[in-house]
Amino acid sequence: MINIEGLSFDYGHNEILKDISVDIKQGQLYALFGPNGSGKTTLLKCIAGLLKYKRGTIMLMNRDIKALGPKKLSKYISYVPQEHRVSFPFTVEEVVLMGRTPHIGHFSGPSRDDVNYTEDAMERIGIQSIANRPYTELSGGQRQLVLLARAFAQDTPIIVLDEPTTALDFQNQINVWRILKSLIKYNKTVITCTHDPNHVSWFCDSVIVLNNGYIVETGPARNVMNNKMLNSLYSDICYVILHRDMTIVLPNI
């Protein structure tokens, strides 16, 4: 679905991504994993078309994303930021309906199909009960679910998320990850940044590990998330155990 070849990105003299090459397959949940400053968010934003890179290519379904305008790209990729605040008290339903913007003509309003997509997205994400509440009055966890529903309503084959659970409590973290995992059954490709090795091990199909702007390892999460890889990133601060066929990362205390 996505083929990246020789991608590099810099802010002036500060090179963030260095010769990134990787294939991302359809219908999987991918994690971009690595320490702070490793290039995860920059790579995610390049994939989403939010950053303009000078070297390398990103091919989306065999088409260079640079050749796709923002409106066309938004029919392929939906983006969920870490945090999203609005000053006007739109209702939850109105925010989710905004996901249909790429499909609405310049001089027309939402169609019945757009409303149906919105209602279906809220039901699938489980927020229909708060549809009429002002988005500005929601908790951080609820806002994140609304943004997920907006991305689902956008009806793109690819959803990218920048650390979607960073500010959430444990219950909401697990809830969001379960929803991300459930999107795979709709043949969505989900790509998300995360710092938590357990979230990668528990929920993700594949992982792309970055450090200092390079890809250091990529493959099925169950194979990549091991002691050797984690020690290469974090020295000996943690270790991996296998419990009931589940990989768990524990700290060295």
User: What tens digit of pLDDT does each residue of 144-196 get?
Assistant: 889 989 999 999 999 999 998 887 888 888 988 998 999 898 889 999 999 89
pLDDT for the residue numbered 165: 86
* Of the candidates 209, 213, 208, 193, the residue with the CA atom closest to the CA atom of residue 16: 213
Q: Model confidence over 22-72: pLDDT tens digits?
A: 999 999 999 999 998 899 999 999 999 999 898 999 999 889 998 888 888
**Distance between CA atoms of 30 and 215, rounded to whole angstroms?**
14
Chain center to CA of 229? 22
- Please check whether residue 93 is in contact with residue 118, taking contact to mean a CB–CB distance below 8 angstroms: yes
Strand arrangement, sheet containing 77-80 = 77-80, 158-161, 189-194, 29-33, 206-211, 214-220
Task: Give the HSE-up count for residue 186: Cα atoms under 13 Å, Cβ half-sphere.
Answer: 18
> Which one, of 32, 7, 17, lies nearest residue 217 by Cα?
32
Residue 236 has pLDDT above 90, yes or no: no
Query: What value does the mean pLDDT take over residues 231-245?
Result: 85
Average pLDDT of 219-226?
92
Angle at 183 between CA 23 and CA 213, to 5 degrees: 35
pLDDT digits (tens, 9 = 90+) for 90-132: 999 999 999 998 888 766 788 889 999 999 999 988 899 999 9
pLDDT tens digits for 62-95?
Answer: 899 988 888 889 999 999 987 766 778 899 999 9
